[in-house]
Chain A
Amino acid sequence: MATDTPTDRRRFLKILGGATACTATATTLAGCTVSGARRPGGNPARRWGMIIDLRRCVACKACVVACKNENKTPPGVAYGVFIEEERGSFPHVQKTGFFRPCMQCANSSCAQVCPTGATYHRADGIVAVDYDKCIGCRYCIAACPYGARSFDYGHDYIEESDNAYNGIPSSEYGAAYGVRKKGASPIGNVRKCTFCLHLQDEHGEYREPPACCRTCMGRAIHFGDLADPEARCVAHGEKMQELLARRAPYRLKEELGNEPAVYYLPAS
């Protein structure tokens, strides 16, 4: 290295300054939007959420079936699942379980990592996917802490394409994607529960509750607006905030800071 002349130093400082400026710009840009894409959609006054009362749940799994039926999800794609756990050793055993829809996180990991912003937050808090933007990289599946996303690999229940069952379009996103066709969206996309947002009217209010909530025979799944303290469950009429206040509600993996919109009321 040559002796430390003023020219050398100036050059070094220039490089250092340039590098710092670049890093600073990059961090600022990234820092502005770490929570993922936000786009209009739905009623901005609402924050749709779910309260699942595990004491009322009889583990019939009708919610899972209703969800499949409503969204016509193909084999291997699941929006809502019922997760069961067995505990203890015989004879002191217990089987517990819970319904797991998408948590519609306020700080969702999926929208954060989506490279195209195809997954985005609607104004009413629902996390939706724009199938036309989605490139199918599946980063969101890797990132979702709740396993709530499914890639549509292209499976069908019935292989013969002319079977009438295969001609029924999914009603999700207002039936915008029509009948399932090989190679066309939503095949090759990542799919998820949207709180059945196709059941909203033009004002962003629910004409009828999401399929899982509507079908639940124990009235264990409550659905409504979490932003309004007076809001009632769309299906059963209980006050949402009162349900939360009366019991000790919890959210799954609360420690990750995703701020889910789905609350559970403990079984015991």
Chain B
Amino acid sequence: MDASGNISPLDRTWRVVGWALLIVAAVVGLWAMAWRFREGLMVTHMTQHVPWGLWISLYIYFIGLSAGSFLLSTLIYVFGVKRFEAAGPLALLQALGCLVLGMFLIWVDLGHPERFLNVFRYWNPSSVLAWESAFYVAYAAILAVELYLVLRPSLAARAQGASRGARFYRALARGDAVLDEAWKARAARWLKWLGIVGIPVAIGVHGGTGAIFAVVKSRPSWYTGIFPIVFLVSALASGGALLTFLTAVGSGLPREKRLPLVQGLARLTVGVVALDLLLILSEVLVVFYGGIPHHVAGWHETFFGPFWWVFWFVQIGLGALVPILLVAGRRTGSSLGWLALAGFLIVFGIIGVRLNIVIPAQVEPQFATLPEAYHHLRFARGYFPSVNEWLVGLCALALGLIGYLVARRVLPLEEAEREAAAHAAEGGVS
């Protein structure tokens, strides 16, 4: 990932290189998207045994990032934790952006993307996925309103003056209404209530996304009550890690305010990562102790299958142990750069977590010799994403990063952060 955003002394050349890379990735990705829409899901390597692949893994990845970011923002707006207050606007923006990316990927994954509204038209209440679709919409609305409330004072500040930019911000701020203390108090109350409603909704969004898998009794590695909880915990970990990383490299705060904020976020995040490890350990011990063959199969595939290194190196090594050590270390734990790396590694490692959730559980077919019953590539055992699947995934990442960088420039995020920091310093969520 390239931090071509706002790291202060970043060399101009590097910034240009970063943007060039991003634009190339986006263009190549968009071409792959066009290819996918022309040819349908033919361009993927998904099979009849592994009907969900890379795109679904990335979908739950982004939903997790979103729900985690949002739940962290409720620490500020609902529970009034002041030390994190300056991270609030970014947390909300991140939550909304990641939700959009997640929705994009599940949409691309549909066999008939043009019919996605059927989920609402013919809503089937016995389907977890149908419930989730409703949750996503409610959640998006809450996020958008919250983000607007947080940014509105800074939008109004930018609306001063007569330039074209000012007109744009005046339109966004809905005129130049006076946003006095009374308005701010009202906004804080709204934020609190939206947060309170948002907590069960966000839990529904990601715990529910976990339940999409957990209710599938035909795939024993998914079929466990701990699964939605693992989803929520790893969501918090990934959301916290992304917030740590972006605050460390891109926040508009001065260094002396940024470091304690990043430290606080990083410590919270690795705590959650440790809890996540504990939950996985619990599940694995129970499964292997019982030793029911089809129950063990998925985990066996994860630990010792052809992609064993995704678990041991990406998920456990880079995604959990290294960041925990980095944050715990005396020198590394008080350096913005190392903490940023710790955050980035967790964000990266959770991709491994998501892949390992989705794919190994499906690799073991419903009957051991079913793949041999039909000789066709769609009946083959195992799964590895096709070039197109990778490129569409890359497209989502690149568009997400570009969207974030543009949003940083267009939206008054830095003002909102500084104001929140000042507000926290003078002591008060009212």
Which residues in A have some Cβ–Cβ distance to B below 8 Å?
Answer: 15, 19, 22, 29-30, 32-37, 75-78, 81-85, 100, 109, 111-118, 133-139, 141-147, 149-155, 182-183, 185, 187-190, 256
What is the predominant secondary structure among interface residues of chain A facing chain B?
Answer: loop
Residue B215 is within 8 A (CB to CB) of chain A in the complex: yes
Please, could you name 12 A-B residue pairs with CB atoms under 8 Å apart, sorted by A?
A36-B126, A37-B126, A78-B374, A78-B379, A83-B367, A83-B373, A115-B119, A137-B106, A138-B111, A142-B51, A151-B41, A151-B111
Cα distance A50–B129 in the bound complex, in angstroms: 31
Look across to chain B and name the residue whose beta carbon is closest to the beta carbon of A255: B217
Q: A135-B115, A136-B110, A136-B112 are in contact. Are A142 and B362 (CB under 8 A)?
A: yes
Residue B141 is within 8 A (CB to CB) of chain A in the complex: no
Look across to chain B and name the residue whose beta carbon is closest to the beta carbon of A33: B126
Residue B122 is within 8 A (CB to CB) of chain A in the complex: yes
* Count of B interface residues, CB-CB < 8 Å: 54
Going nearest first, the 4 A-B pairs with the smallest beta carbon separation are A136-B111, A188-B111, A76-B378, A147-B366
Cα distance A36–B124 in the bound complex, in angstroms: 7
Q: Contact at A147–B49, with CB atoms within 8 Å?
A: yes
Interchain nearest-CB distance for A228 vs B (Å):
29
Look across to chain B and name the residue whose beta carbon is closest to the beta carbon of A84: B369
Q: A116-B130, A145-B366, A151-B111 are in contact. Are A135 and B217 (CB under 8 A)?
A: no
Residue B256 is within 8 A (CB to CB) of chain A in the complex: no
Which of these, B129, B366, B377, contacts A137 with CB under 8 Å?
Answer: B129
Q: Contact at B125–A29, with CB atoms within 8 Å?
A: yes
Q: Contact at A81–B129, with CB atoms within 8 Å?
A: no
Look across to chain B and name the residue whose beta carbon is closest to the beta carbon of A143: B216
Cα distance A36–B127 in the bound complex, in angstroms: 8
Q: A113-B216, A114-B124, A256-B218 are in contact. Are A141 and B48 (CB under 8 A)?
A: yes
Residue B72 is within 8 A (CB to CB) of chain A in the complex: no
Residue B20 is within 8 A (CB to CB) of chain A in the complex: no
Residue B388 is within 8 A (CB to CB) of chain A in the complex: no
Q: Contact at A135–B119, with CB atoms within 8 Å?
A: yes
Provide the residues of chain B in CB contact with A151, threshold 8 Å. Answer: 41, 46, 48, 51, 111, 378
Q: Contact at B48–A116, with CB atoms within 8 Å?
A: no
Provide the residues of chain A in CB contact with B127, threshold 8 Å. Answer: 36, 112-115, 117, 139
Q: A30-B131, A188-B111 are in contact. Are A81 and B125 (CB under 8 A)?
A: no
Provide the residues of chain B in CB contact with A77, threshold 8 Å. Answer: 378
Provide the residues of chain A in CB contact with B125, threshold 8 Å. Answer: 29-30, 32-33
Q: Contact at B122–A118, with CB atoms within 8 Å?
A: yes
Q: Contact at A84–B48, with CB atoms within 8 Å?
A: no
Q: Contact at B373–A81, with CB atoms within 8 Å?
A: yes
Q: Contact at A153–B109, with CB atoms within 8 Å?
A: no
Q: Contact at B367–A147, with CB atoms within 8 Å?
A: yes
Cα distance A112–B366 in the bound complex, in angstroms: 18
Residue B152 is within 8 A (CB to CB) of chain A in the complex: no
Interchain nearest-CB distance for A130 vs B (Å):
9
Q: Contact at B378–A153, with CB atoms within 8 Å?
A: yes
Provide the residues of chain A in CB contact with B200, threshold 8 Å. Answer: 19, 22
Cα distance A123–B240 in the bound complex, in angstroms: 50
Cα distance A147–B381 in the bound complex, in angstroms: 13
Q: Contact at B370–A81, with CB atoms within 8 Å?
A: yes
Look across to chain B and name the residue whose beta carbon is closest to the beta carbon of A36: B126
Q: Contact at B379–A76, with CB atoms within 8 Å?
A: yes
Further 13 A-B residue pairs, CB within 8 A, beyond A117-B123, A138-B46, A188-B112: A81-B373, A109-B218, A114-B124, A117-B122, A133-B122, A135-B116, A144-B218, A145-B366, A151-B46, A151-B48, A152-B111, A155-B378, A188-B111
Provide the residues of chain A in CB contact with B376, threshold 8 Å. Answer: 75-76, 155
Cα distance A100–B41 in the bound complex, in angstroms: 26
Q: Most chain-B CB neighbours within 10 Å: which of A114, A139, A190?
A: A139
Interchain nearest-CB distance for A226 vs B (Å):
23
Q: Contact at B119–A116, with CB atoms within 8 Å?
A: yes
Look across to chain B and name the residue whose beta carbon is closest to the beta carbon of A144: B218
Provide the residues of chain A in CB contact with B48, threshold 8 Å. Answer: 76, 78, 141, 147, 149-151
Residue B30 is within 8 A (CB to CB) of chain A in the complex: no
Provide the residues of chain A in CB contact with B368, threshold 8 Å. Answer: 85
Q: Contact at B218–A134, with CB atoms within 8 Å?
A: no
Provide the residues of chain A in CB contact with B42, threshold 8 Å. Answer: 153-155
Residue B39 is within 8 A (CB to CB) of chain A in the complex: yes
Residue B133 is within 8 A (CB to CB) of chain A in the complex: yes
Which of these, B52, B124, B365, contacts A138 with CB under 8 Å?
Answer: B52
Q: Contact at A154–B52, with CB atoms within 8 Å?
A: no
Interchain nearest-CB distance for B218 vs A (Å):
4
Which of these, A83, A139, A153, contacts B369 with CB under 8 Å?
Answer: A83
Provide the residues of chain B in CB contact with A118, threshold 8 Å. Answer: 118, 122
Provide the residues of chain B in CB contact with A145, threshold 8 Å. Answer: 217-218, 366
Residue B317 is within 8 A (CB to CB) of chain A in the complex: no
Q: Contact at B374–A30, with CB atoms within 8 Å?
A: no
Residue B196 is within 8 A (CB to CB) of chain A in the complex: yes
Residue B87 is within 8 A (CB to CB) of chain A in the complex: no
Interchain nearest-CB distance for B139 vs A (Å):
15
Chain B, range 128-142, C-beta contacts under 8 Å to A: 128-131, 133
Look across to chain B and name the residue whose beta carbon is closest to the beta carbon of A119: B124
Residue B250 is within 8 A (CB to CB) of chain A in the complex: no
Q: Contact at A189–B118, with CB atoms within 8 Å?
A: no
Cα distance A136–B122 in the bound complex, in angstroms: 14
Q: Contact flags (1/0) for B44-69 with A, using CB distance below 8 Å? A: 10101101100000000000000000
Q: Contact at B111–A189, with CB atoms within 8 Å?
A: yes
Look across to chain A and name the residue whose beta carbon is closest to the beta carbon of B119: A115
Provide the residues of chain B in CB contact with A83, threshold 8 Å. Answer: 367, 369-370, 373
Look across to chain A and name the residue whose beta carbon is closest to the beta carbon of B127: A115
Q: Contact at B40–A188, with CB atoms within 8 Å?
A: yes
Cα distance A1–B386 in the bound complex, in angstroms: 55
Look across to chain A and name the residue whose beta carbon is closest to the beta carbon of B53: A138
Q: Contact at B129–A37, with CB atoms within 8 Å?
A: no
Provide the residues of chain A in CB contact with B106, threshold 8 Å. Answer: 137
Look across to chain A and name the residue whose beta carbon is closest to the beta carbon of B125: A33
